[in-house]
Amino acid sequence: MIILSVESSCDETAVALVRDGREVLTDQVFSQADLHAVYGGVVPEIASRSHIEVIYQLADRALAVTGLSRADIDAVAVTYAPGLIGALLVGVNFAKSLAFGLGVPLIPVHHIRGHIAANYLAFPELEPPFLCLAISGGNTLIADVRDYTDIRVLGSTRDDAAGECFDKTARVLGLPYPGGKPLDDLSQSGDDTKYHMPLSHVEGNPLDMSFSGLKTAVINLVHGAEQRGEELDRASLAASFTKAVSDSLVPRTMEALRELGYDKLAVAGGVAANSRIRRDFTQAASKAGARLYIPPLKLCGDNAAMIGAQGYYEYMAGHTAGAELNAFATLEV
C-alpha cells in the first residue's frame, strides 16, 4: 500500500510517499527556517503562505523522483493536529482535495503519533508495546504505546514543551534561529556544573514535567549578568541548561519504563536530535538492560514520512475521514 502523506503543522512543508508504513520511497521537505530567521521564531501567517506556495510542487516532485503516477497512490494521509491552525489547514485542505480527486481514502494523523512512528521507519523490527518519550517544540510527553493506534499518555509537561525551552534559551543567548543545533554545538565546550539550574517537581503525578521555571531562570541569569556588566560563560550556560533538561526527562522516562516492565524504549521528536539527551538515554537504557530506539537526525524533525508511517496503521485500524475533516491547534494524542 502506497500512501502519499502531507505534513504542514509548523514551518516545514513536507510530502512523502511511504509503502506499507515501513518503507520511505521519498520524503520531500521544504524548510522555512530562512524565512523566519529574521524574526527569531515562526510567524504563523508567513508559515501558512509558504505552505500554499510549495505544497503542490512538493507533491509533483515526490511522484517525479519515484517514477510513480497518481494512479499508484492508494491513500492520502495528513497531519490534522496539533500545530499552527493556519498551517495545518493548508495541508488538510490540500490532502482532502487530492484524496477526493483520486478517489482514495483520506487518513487523519496526529502529529505526535507521527513522531512516534518515525521509529518504525528507522527500525523495521520495532513493534508495540513499548514506551516512547516524545519531545518536540510544542509537545513533551511520555507515552505507553500499547498498539499502533492505542497510545496512553503517562506523563507530560504542565506548561512549556522542552523544545520551546530550547528555542527561548538559544534566543536569549543570541544564537541563530532555529536554535537547537547552535545551542547543542555551543554546549560541547562548556562546563555543565558551572550554573545551577532548577529542576521541577510536579505534584499529582511524578511523571509530569515543567520547564517554564527553567526557561525563566536562564532568562533572569542572562539579563542579570547584562545589567551588572558581567561576562557570561555562554558555553557553560548552554551545557548547564541542556543537562537540566536531560535530568528532567531521563529519570522520569526510565521510571515509567520500570513501572510498565517494558524492555523497549523509543525517543522521538525534534529535541531527540540533541547529542546530550541521546547520550544520556543511551547510557540509561544500557544500565537498565533495555533496547533503545532513537531515529536518525533526519527523522527527528518534522517530516511527512513519519505521517505516512502512522497513516498506514491508522488506515489498518479503520481510521479514515471525509470532506468533514478539520484541523485542530490542540488535541490529545
- Torsion angles phi and psi, residue 146, rounded to 5: -75, -40
Q: Do domains 2-116+301-316 and 129-299 have the same CATH topology?
A: yes
Which three three-digit cell numbers place residue 43? Answer: 510567524
The superfamily (CATH) of domain 2-116+301-316 is: ATPase, nucleotide binding domain (3.30.420.40)
Q: What is the mean pLDDT of the chain?
A: 96
Residue boundaries of the structural domains of the chain = 2-116+301-316, 129-299
Q: What percent of the chain has pLDDT over 90?
A: 92
Question: What are the C-alpha distances in Å from 172 to residues 152, 197, 244, 302?
Answer: 35, 16, 17, 24
Query: What's 129-299's CATH class?
Result: alpha beta
Q: What is the pTM of this model?
A: 0.95
Q: Does the pLDDT of residue 137 top 90, yes or no?
A: no
Q: Does the pLDDT of residue 281 top 90, yes or no?
A: yes
**CA angle (109, 73, 122) in 5-degree steps:** 55
Which amino acid belongs to residue 295?
A: P
pLDDT at 90: 98
Q: Are 50 and 87 in contact (CB under 8 A)?
A: no
Q: What is the pLDDT of residues 156-199, one digit of tens each?
A: 999 999 999 999 999 999 998 888 999 999 999 999 999 999 98
Q: Are 54 and 6 in contact (CB under 8 A)?
A: no
